[in-house]
Amino acid sequence: MFSSEIFESDLAISDQVLDQRLVKEIIDQALIDHGYCSHDHRSDKKAPDDSQLKSSVLEVMSRYHVATSNKDLAMKAVTKFELYSEVFPEGPGVTSIPDTAEGAEAQKKLVNKVWSYIQTGTTGHVQQSIAASGMVLCEAKVSRTQVNEETGKREPTVTLGRFLTSDHALILKHFTAPAGADFAQASRKLENKLGMVVGRQPELAVTIARQMAAVVRASIAAIPHADPKHVAALVAGSLIGDDAETEIA
């Protein structure tokens, strides 16, 4: 198996050049060849079945990619191409570079399909499927080696990896803190927009402040889990002190 995402093709090929029918055939055949299929009784043939692929991704993540602490995070996390090669060990681009544009496009679509099942959002397939386990699907930058196309040498690199965990420190660092940072960034963007408008229309300053005050109140009400007092009231016997608060850079 090739060890790098460099085989995930980024060829700039127009849809007019690609034979999309052939791309679909390659994808469907890859699914069938790896057992992600069902029997179509009408045609008496095997038909691709994404639900079985989803189940395989969930099994792979639950079995091989559960981090228990920061020490095993890099080893347990899986990158985009690594996950693809685990569920499609004989798939396009895993053992050799695709020799056709359609093969490269099929690989790209399959890689993205598999990766989409482990989105870290609340609606992702694996994220929802692991709810009963108490684990959370997180992502973090991890170290890997990659083959330099020009020199042929293996070089260290940093890429995005995803993993399951129930470790509190990992969840705080790699899930809730980034989510809070996104919220803070959105707030800064809002302030920049408000400042621009007020700079051009000073007479709107008070009206905008009143308008946004209502938005802020609604936003705070929408995230009760960010209110320590509210959570303390909900969680009987829990103690939420200053040391439980995580600062968001």
pLDDT digits (tens, 9 = 90+) for 214-238: 999 999 999 999 988 888 887 755 5
The β-bridge partners of 38 are 47
Let me know the angle formed at the C-alpha of 92 by 35 and 29, rounded to the nearest 5 degrees: 40
Q: Domains of the chain: which residue ranges? A: 5-166, 173-244
Burial classification of residue 49, based on how many CB atoms lie within 10 Å of its CB (0-12 exposed, 13-18 middle, 19 or more buried): middle
Q: What is the pLDDT of residues 23-77, one digit of tens each?
A: 999 999 999 999 999 988 888 899 999 999 999 999 999 999 999 999 999 999 9
Predicted pLDDT of residue 223: 95
CA distance readout (Å), 69 to 23, 145, 165, 182: 41, 22, 8, 24
Q: Which residue has the tokens 């060890």?
A: 3
| CA 141, 70, 223, 210 torsion-angle sign | negative
Task: Evaluate if residue 167 carries a pLDDT over 70.
Answer: yes
Task: Evaluate if residue 244 carries a pLDDT over 80.
Answer: no
Predicted pLDDT of residue 98: 94
**φ, ψ at 11 (rounded to 5°):** -60, 135
Q: What is the pLDDT of residues 24-39, one digit of tens each?
A: 999 999 999 999 999 8
Predicted pLDDT of residue 118: 98
Q: For residues 225 and 221, what is the distance between their CA atoms, to the nearest angstrom?
A: 10
Give me the torsion for CA of 136, 139, 140, 141, rounded to 10°: 160
